Structure formats: C-alpha cells, structure tokens
Structure 1
Amino acid sequence: MFNLPHAEAHAVILLYSMAFNQPAVPAADERLCKALETQEAAAALHDLGRSPDAPASLDAPGLRSIDIRAAATAAMQAPYYNPRALSQEAVHRLLAYAFDGTRPESRTFQSVWFASPREARIRRFFLPTLLLSIFTFMDKRALIIGATGIVGGNLAQHLLACGGWKVSGLSRGRTKAPDGVESVTADLTSAKSVKDALQGQRFSHVYFSAWSRQATERENIEVNGAMVRHVLDALGPSGKLEHAALVTGLKHYLGPFEAYAQGNVPLTPFREEQGRQPVDNFYYEQEDRLFEAARRHDFSWSVHRPHTIIGFALGNAMNMGVTLAVYATLCKETGQPFVFPGSVAQWNSLTDMTDARLLARHLEWASTSPGARNEDFNVVNGDVFRWKWMWSQLAQYFGIDPAPFDGETRPLEHRMLDAKRQWADIAGRYQLKEPDIDRLVSWWHTDADLGRPMEVLTDMSKSRKAGFLDYQPTSDAFFALFDKLKRERIIPS
C-alpha cells in the first residue's frame, strides 16, 4: 500500500505530522493524496475516520477508546521504522483535536473529497487499520493524586520511563512535583477547588494514592471519601476518563487504626474474596465512591491493597524503610542497641511487604490490561520472611550487631525522645540534606506495623492468574532503598 513498508502505520504518522506541516516522508504524502484523490491528505484521513457510514468510525454508537486501544495493542505488536520521530505532545494534541471533531488546518485552502468510486474500497480496507493505529500511538494522560508520596512518586517515575504517558500530579502545592510531572494545585477537600483546577483537563487515567488522617474513623470516612468523590465528579462527566485506580491497604482485612485487629479478622494469607470487616473503615467509603462513579460515567476501575510499602519518599507519614534506616544510623552513631521494637508474633511469624516500584508496575498493569478491569488485588513482593531473620540482615547492612530479642515490645516512639537532637548533630557532621528527623521518620506507623499481635500474610494468586508475574525479594528492596538514601545524602555513606 502506497509502496511503503508497513504503510498503514506510516499513514498514521503522516496524519499527525502533516497536521503540523511536518511531513514524515514528502513522497509518501504525494502518494496518499493521489490514492485518496485529494490535495489534503491529513484532512481527508481525518474525515475518513469520522465518517458515520464507515465500517469503523470514531462516531460509531457505543465505541469507546478503551475498547479500541485493547484491539490496537494486539494488532500492532510488530515494530516498524519511524522515518521521523514526532513529539508526544504533538501527537497528543492532534488526537485531542480529532476526538473533538476538529480537522487539521488546511495547507492549500482547497480540498477534493472522495469523488472517485474508489472511496468505498478505501473505507473498507484502510479505515479499520487506520483507527487501530491511531489508538496504538495515542498518548495516555495520567493524573496522580499524591504524586509526591511514596506510592505516587514511584508511579510517576515508572509511567514516565514507560513512554507514551503524560503525567500530572494533583496536590496542595506544598511540595515540588517530581521531575517531568505537571503540577495541578487544588484542595482535595473542596469540591469547588478540585473542579476549578481540573476544568478543561483531559485525563485517561487517574490514580488515588493519598489520604488525610483525621482524629476519628468517622472523620476519616467523611474526609477521604469526599476526596475521591470530588476528583471523579470533576473528571467523570467529560467522558474521557477510561480507568481509575485506588490504592488502599491491608487494613481492608485488619480494620482501621482505632479498631485494629478487633473482631473477626480473616485467616491468613489474606485473599480478596474474604471481603470487608463489620466496622467503619474509610477504605470501604473510598471504594464505594469509586464504584458509584464508575457505573455513572462508564469507566473501569481497580483497587490495590499493598502491605507495608518500602520506597524512597521524604516527608511521608507511612514509611517504614526510611524510618528503619534512620533508626539503624542512630544506633550506629550513638552506640545504643539495635532493638527490635515489635511484638513476639511479628518476630516469629511469616510476613511480607511491598516494594513501591513493584506497586507502580502493578498499578500500570491493572489500569491498561483488559483482564484486570473492575477487580481488587492484593499487591506484595511475592516472597515471605520472618523478622527474626530480616532484623539481622538490616543490622549487617549497617555494620551493627542486632540486639537479642527478649520478647518485650519496645515502641520506637517512646525510646526516640532524644532522636531529634541526635539526628541534627549527625546531619551536621556528615553534611546530610535533611537535619529535621520529623521529615524522615514515622515512629508511630512503624510501631503499629511491627507491634501487630498476629501474623499478617498476603495471597497474590489473583494477580498471578490475571497475568502479573513480577517478583521482588524484600531484603533487596530494603538494600536498594538504603543505597539510594546514601546517594541522596539522607543517611551517611
């Protein structure tokens, strides 16, 4: 076709490039004009894609971009040579115009539209491939709620590294957005603030990875449920949203902080079909708001339940990895014993954790895989361990001896009363970036995790059966985080 290898795909490149007066291959431009009997190949291809009587059309009743993208992924696996690379921004802009019905601007200010009997043959054989190709090349636009946190930050890095994504992060604007992420500033607790900030924005995917801790669970339900509702009320009516992903956690099975592990906690390993506990839980409210909006606005959803997350993030309220790195450094520098602060049950029982990088891959997989739509998933690394073994591994990394565990629970929050002054001295000696220990640690959260009175173990079978096979040894996740903290001069080298 048009005497070019993989001409169907090249035709799509030409459609993009000609709209911006940047022909990928001028000779191919001439062939397209001749084949379509027009002087405006870009506009002709656009009109062909919007022809309501075509075999497949952007105007076809019930046609959704998410359905076509799934077909495109299967149909366009083979790579081909792109004679002239186009910017993702240019591609995205043209597709946004096309979905709105805007034709490419004219270069000759005249057109000849399908006067030939060849029109029917062109529509029949060319248009389906054209449409599949369009959706294969289309950029995906992600909005991350909480892009500066441990989950959102790692997700943003992953999506940008994948290519084909334009990433925005919505926050109050108190923390600088990660490199490559466009910042959107809004107060998530205000419906008007969120609506104003997202007015006119087009996002294909939204990821919820933030929450606001309140004094009681009833307040948690009210505030965090409203945050999800405000975003989806602002994005849903556009019809452009294809998928919304919600990150919660294992308190789905264990209950909220004020009723933690009370009542009928299900047997381990936790499995998705075990359902909800008969207690108030803001996770359930967030899910209900997600499900309701998905039904009303016709987008797919996924819910992700990680265990304790290991990953690089500063100023994060729930970060065991950084907390333990600071604790081990304090022990090394001050000579205090490296005591396990948790319970006998956690010391002896099997458990697991979640690497933030693996969670980012799981979020991207579930939000783009047809087989993972409208499902809830546990997300852990895939290995299991006992803290009585892991504690010695962490001690060995930092070059200290683990203190013998005598079975007593010794919370860090009670033992680290002098840590603020000690850390400021260490930061000054080693010229570390962050002298304020409160920006690094979450003693209370690490105490809560390691002080659990029962085994906490998670089943990943549902994700495995659906096609997610990633695996991450938890000890390697800790060591990779500690190495990064050293490189970033957060802890001494």
Structure 2
Amino acid sequence: MEQANPTQPVALIVGVTGMVGVALTEALNKPTALGGPWTVYGVSRRPLPTWFPSSILNKHMILDTLNQQQTHEILSPLSSQITHVFWLALQVNESEQVNISLNSTMLSNVLKSLTSSPTSKLSHVTLQTGTKQYLGPVFDPILSTQLVPRDPPFIEDYPRLPFPNFYYALEDILASYSNSLTYSVHRASLIIGASTRSFYNLLLTLAVYALVCKHQNHPFRYFGNKYSWEHFWDVSDARVLAEQQIWASVTDKANNEAFNCTNGDVFTWKMIWRVLCDAFDIEFVPFDEKEEFDLVEFMKDKGEVWDRIVEENGLYKTKMQEIAYFNGIDKLLQFEFQHVCSVNKSREFGFHGYANTLKSIPEWVQKLRQMKILP
C-alpha cells in the first residue's frame, strides 16, 4: 500500500466521480492548492469512468459506504494516513425519512472507520449540502406540499425549518464528533459541473434536452413559469465549491462553521436560455406563458433519440434516464420566489472565490465535449 508523507495532508474524497469530486481532485492537485501538496484518495461505488482523470488520484477505492463491514475493512487501515475527508456522497430517495437513514448511515460508517483507531490522523471533515437547508424537502411527495421556504437571499444563520431534512441529520453527526475533529458545511445552490455520475446535474439535463430538440428539429422551449424566467437565481460552479472546501479545511477561523457557496452573481433564466442557445447553436425561442409545455411528458420517450446522438457522435455511453433529471428541474423552475443565497459570510471569513455564471456555462459545455459526454 502506498504510504503518504507523514507531513503531507491526505484527502479522502467520498463521491469522487460527481461534479464536485472531479473539480476537487483537480484543485487539490494544483501546485497552488492551499495546505498542499496533497495526497488524494477517492471513493466511489463503481469503477472510475473513462472520462475521469484517474492519473491525478493517488489511490481509488470502490466502496459501498452503506455497507458497514466493507467500509471498515477498506478504510480503517488508512486511518493513520487520512487527515481530511471531503464528503460529497449522496443517496437520493423521494422520502426524506429514507434520505435521512441512508445518508446518515454512510457518513457514520466512514467516520467510525477512520476514528476508531488510536493512530487516527483525521482532523477535518467538509460536508457538502445545499439550499434544501432553507427550502425543506422539496422532492418529498407529501412534505413538499406543506413547505414555506425562508425568505431569499438565504442566510446561514436562518433557523432550521420544522421538517425532516437529511442535511440537518448530517450536520448533527459532525457536531457529535466536535471534541475530536473540526468540520465545515458548504451549502451549494444548483451545481454546474461535468460528470455523468451526479444525480442532480442541471447543465447536463438541459444539454440533453437542447440536443434532442436540435436532433429532431423541435423548438428549444422554456418549461418553467414566467416568474423564474424573469426573476433572479444563482448557481454554484463546481470549481468554486472545490476552492471553498479546500480553504475551509485549512483555515482555523472556518472551523465548525456553515457557508453558502455560489458564484456570487445572479441571473434570470431568460439570460441562461440565450447562453444555451449559443452553446448548442439553436434558435432562441422567447417564453410564451400562453403556450403550455410539459418537459417531463415531452422527454419521456426520447431515450432512443439520445441513444442515437451518443452512437452517431461516438460519445461515452450514457442512458438518458441516468444523466438527466427532468422531474427535478421542471419542479424547481415552477418556484415563485427568487432562489438566491447570500455569500456575505463566506467573504467576511476570508473566502473570495467566484465565477461569472454566463461565461462558465460555455466553459463547462466545452469540458463535457472534451470528456466525450456531449457532442
């Protein structure tokens, strides 16, 4: 087994093949990475896909963190090496109670495996969550009908909503370890990045829809409501999230704190639609609220169209239902409040990372093309 330098921080990225996992692996490998040079280990449930830059991982492990015995057997021998855990793993179910059970089990299994030994080196855990902190369980079919979200812009010290939320459960698990290790919580907005292994992949979902429209000569119509078309939203570039997580992991002032993490700017979906049309060379169609359009219904039988696009362009093999989440994005864009987070706290604590959203989208489209995920 490869031995890490005893003076060198060793990162374990749990969920390494997701959008932020890819960005974090690349960021930790930069010569300028804070606290570095880093040794980087990665965990995923499946083998690394061909598009993943595996050469910049010192070690990759296939691991189902729901399996307590397997997690202990694989991770406990590394407890004398791993100094930092970056928690990006996610299990998603419609029921929020099931989400709490699954995600809590995974985090607990990993932390127990890495802290049970007297030679444990683990000192800090970064936990990635999101704006469900302020919205509640928006995808739970029963609870979502009862939600009253916090007023935007969302602020970190808003009290918890009176609904079950697996983000709250994960924060409580980390707080229970506060005598022996520090942690930081990173609340992302909708994430923009490049991976086929992320459950909520906004850009890839929109790209699949755009390319199917282009392939079949359908208009690329906006499927949200008039409010979201015209009002402000924000997103989180995976690179900014990676930078903030590294910063917090080596900054004492950030210990045991929660930070929103967005690009620091806002946009309307009308603006995004024009950017997407330019990126995929399709005609911009203005939103018309008189014309009803059901995205989920439109895309439900388009799996074979996507298969043809993949085949004709020699792309990395993907199935539409595995990389696109039409139900989720359709529901989000029916919101009638501005989905915006305050990042003042992050700036006040010393993190100034940002991205220009309208410029970053074409960059990520190009990255997805280089990875042979998009044509």
Tell me the TM-score normalized by structure 2.
0.90
1:265 matches 2:138: no
* Structure-2 separation of matches of 1:340 and 1:305: 27
Q: In the alignment, is the contact (CA less than 8 A) between 1:433 and 1:490 conserved in 2?
A: yes
Query: Is the deviation greater in 424-433 or in 325-334?
Result: 424-433
Query: Of 10, 24, 29, which aligns to 1:155?
Result: 24
Aligned partner of 1:198 in structure 2 is 75
1:356 matches 2:356: no
Query: Of 189, 203, 222, which aligns to 2:66?
Result: 189
Give structure 1 stretches of 5+ with no counterpart: 1-88, 96-137
* Structure-2 separation of matches of 1:185 and 1:294: 28
1:457 matches 2:330: no
* Structure-2 separation of matches of 1:262 and 1:304: 26
Aligned partner of 2:305 in structure 1 is 422
* Structure with greater proportional helix content: 1
Q: In the alignment, is the contact (CA less than 8 A) between 1:255 and 1:262 conserved in 2?
A: no
- Per-residue displacement from partner, 1:403-447 (whole Å, max 9, x unpaired)? 231226644221112321112222333332335323432222322
Give structure 2 stretches of 5+ with no counterpart: none
1:210 matches 2:93: no
- Per-residue displacement from partner, 1:148-179 (whole Å, max 9, x unpaired)? 11121211111122351111112333445741
Cα root mean square deviation, aligned = 1.9
Q: In the alignment, is the contact (CA less than 8 A) between 2:17 and 2:197 conserved in 1?
A: no
Closer/same/farther in 2, CA of residues 292 and 435 from structure 1, 3 Å limit: closer
Q: In the alignment, is the contact (CA less than 8 A) between 1:308 and 1:449 conserved in 2?
A: no
* Structure-1 separation of matches of 2:61 and 2:151: 42
Q: In the alignment, is the contact (CA less than 8 A) between 1:317 and 1:445 conserved in 2?
A: no
* Structure-2 separation of matches of 1:401 and 1:414: 22
* Structure-1 separation of matches of 2:347 and 2:294: 36
* Structure-1 separation of matches of 2:83 and 2:292: 47
1:172 matches 2:28: no
Q: In the alignment, is the contact (CA less than 8 A) between 1:343 and 1:409 conserved in 2?
A: no
* Structure-1 separation of matches of 2:293 and 2:323: 20
Counterpart secondary structure, 1:438: helix
Larger radius of gyration: 1
User: What is the percent sequence identity of the aligned residues?
Assistant: 35
* Structure-1 separation of matches of 2:25 and 2:347: 24
Q: In the alignment, is the contact (CA less than 8 A) between 1:342 and 1:409 conserved in 2?
A: no
* Structure-1 separation of matches of 2:113 and 2:66: 13
Aligned partner of 2:9 in structure 1 is 140
Counterpart secondary structure, 1:203: coil
Q: In the alignment, is the contact (CA less than 8 A) between 2:47 and 2:62 conserved in 1?
A: no
1:228 matches 2:228: no
Aligned partner of 1:43 in structure 2 is none
Amino acid paired to 2:346: S
1:477 matches 2:354: no
* Structure-2 separation of matches of 1:358 and 1:300: 21
Aligned partner of 1:400 in structure 2 is 282
* Structure-1 separation of matches of 2:112 and 2:93: 23
1:293 Cα shift?
1.9
Tell me the TM-score normalized by structure 1.
0.69
* Structure-2 separation of matches of 1:409 and 1:291: 47
Query: Of 246, 250, 256, which aligns to 2:131?
Result: 250
Counterpart secondary structure, 1:303: strand
Closer/same/farther in 2, CA of residues 440 and 220 from structure 1, 3 Å limit: closer
- Per-residue displacement from partner, 1:78-124 (whole Å, max 9, x unpaired)? xxxxxxxxxxx78x44x3xxxxxxxxxxxxxxxxxxxxxxxxxxxxx
Counterpart secondary structure, 1:167: strand
Aligned partner of 1:448 in structure 2 is 331
* Structure-2 separation of matches of 1:470 and 1:309: 15
Aligned partner of 1:105 in structure 2 is none
Amino acid paired to 1:342: G
Amino acid paired to 1:187: D
Structure of greater relative contact order (alpha carbons < 8 Å, 6+ residues apart): 2
Closer/same/farther in 2, CA of residues 251 and 197 from structure 1, 3 Å limit: same
Q: In the alignment, is the contact (CA less than 8 A) between 1:148 and 1:178 conserved in 2?
A: no
- Per-residue displacement from partner, 1:350-397 (whole Å, max 9, x unpaired)? 110000011000110111111111100000001111112221221122
- Per-residue displacement from partner, 1:241-282 (whole Å, max 9, x unpaired)? 110010010000000121348444211100001121000111
Query: Is the deviation greater in 186-195 or in 307-316?
Result: 186-195
Q: In the alignment, is the contact (CA less than 8 A) between 1:147 and 1:178 conserved in 2?
A: no
Aligned partner of 1:278 in structure 2 is 162
